[in-house]
Amino acid sequence: MNVELITKRDLQEFKSDLLNEIKRIIQPSQASTKKWLKSVEVRKLLGISPGTLQNLRINGTLRFTKVGSIMYYKLEDINKILEGEGK
């Protein structure tokens, strides 16, 4: 029967590796981040209804671009609203 001992240093290395991996997963690279979001995505991020999103558009709080019948919103503008910097 083989017995393997785990030292305190082994646990510290494991902890460090695990934390680094979690950080990598949680913080995706900027290249993979979307620059424009559709209405459904914006509503999910802000936790609002379609009517509230419409009100944000109407009163100018949230700028948008319409392509065909789809409205797109800049992620930068959404982040400003989340940080409380909206109009």
pLDDT number for residue 29: 55
pLDDT number for residue 10: 94
Average pLDDT over residues 39-61: 94
Average pLDDT over residues 9-17: 93
Average pLDDT over the chain reads: 87
Confidence band for 21, pLDDT divided at 50, 70 and 90? confident
pLDDT of 19 strictly over 90 = no
pLDDT number for residue 32: 52
Give Cα separations from 56 to 18, 41, 47 (angstroms): 41, 15, 13
